[in-house]
A and B are shown apart, each in its own frame.
Chain A
Amino acid sequence: MVVGVLLAGGGAFAATNWVVGLGAGSSGEAQSANVANLTITAVASPASGNLLYPGSNGDVVVTIANSNPYPVTITAVQLPTNTTYAGGFTTNALSTPQTGCSTTTSDVIWNFSSTTSGSSHTLTTPLTVGASGAANNPLVVTLTNDASMTTAAPAACTNTFFSMPSLTGVTATGGSAASTTTPATDAWTS
Chain B
Amino acid sequence: MHEQGDIDEDTGSLIRRLVFVVVVLAIVLAAAGTAWASNWLIVLHPSSNGEAQARAAPTAPTGVSAACTSSSAKTVKVSWSAVTKATTYTIYDATTSASGTYTSIASGVATTSWTSATLSSANYWFEVAAYTGTNWVGPKSAATGESTISSSGCVQP
Chain B residues positioned under 8 Å from A173 (CB to CB): 37-40, 42
Q: Give the residue of A9, A17, A56, A61 whose beta carbon is less than 8 angstroms from that of B50.
A: A61
Bound-state Cα–Cα, A162 to B46, Å: 18
Residues of A within 8 A of B (CB): 1-2, 5-6, 9, 12-13, 16-17, 19, 22, 24, 27, 31-32, 35-46, 51-56, 58-62, 68, 72, 74, 86, 88, 92, 94, 108, 143, 147, 149-155, 157-170, 172-175
Q: A173 → chain B, closest Cβ, in Å?
A: 6
**Given known A-B contacts A72-B42, A158-B56, A2 and B22 have beta carbons under 8 A apart:** yes
Q: A153 → chain B, closest Cβ, in Å?
A: 6
Chain B residues positioned under 8 Å from A167 (CB to CB): 44, 48-49
Chain B residues positioned under 8 Å from A43 (CB to CB): 51
Q: Which of B39-90 contact A (CB under 8 A)?
A: 39-57, 85, 87
Q: Is the interface of B mostly helix, strand, loop or mixed?
A: mixed
B135 at the interface (CB under 8 A from A): yes
Q: Is the interface of A mostly helix, strand, loop or mixed?
A: mixed
The 9 closest A-B pairs by CB, nearest first: A54-B133, A42-B51, A40-B48, A62-B50, A172-B42, A147-B52, A39-B45, A174-B40, A60-B50
List, sorted by A's number, 28 A–B pairs whose CB atoms are closer than 8 Å.
Answer: A2-B18, A5-B23, A12-B30, A17-B36, A27-B35, A36-B43, A37-B44, A38-B43, A38-B48, A40-B48, A43-B51, A51-B53, A52-B53, A55-B132, A56-B85, A58-B53, A60-B51, A68-B42, A152-B133, A153-B54, A154-B135, A159-B55, A159-B56, A161-B51, A166-B46, A169-B44, A170-B44, A175-B37
